Amino acid sequence: MIWRSVLLSTVKTFWINFFDACIHIQNIQFTQTF
């Protein structure tokens, strides 16, 4: 069960970082376009 909780927290952290990076990239593209 410990491995499952570690895996879940790792996946959750990965998705948070992934969406954060996507928003950051979109902001950069938006700034460069206008």
pLDDT tens readout for residues 2-30 = 899 999 999 999 999 999 999 988 887 77
In this structure, how many other beta carbons lie within 10 angstroms of the beta carbon of residue 9?
10
pLDDT of residue 29: 77
Task: Work out the pLDDT band at 33, boundaries 50, 70, 90.
Answer: low
Residue 1 pLDDT: 75
Residue 33 Ramachandran class (φ > 0 left, ψ -120 to 50 alpha, else beta): alpha
Q: How far is CA 6 from CA 1, 3, 20, 26, in A?
A: 9, 5, 21, 30
Confidence band (pLDDT; 50, 70, 90) for 34?
A: low
pLDDT of residue 30: 73
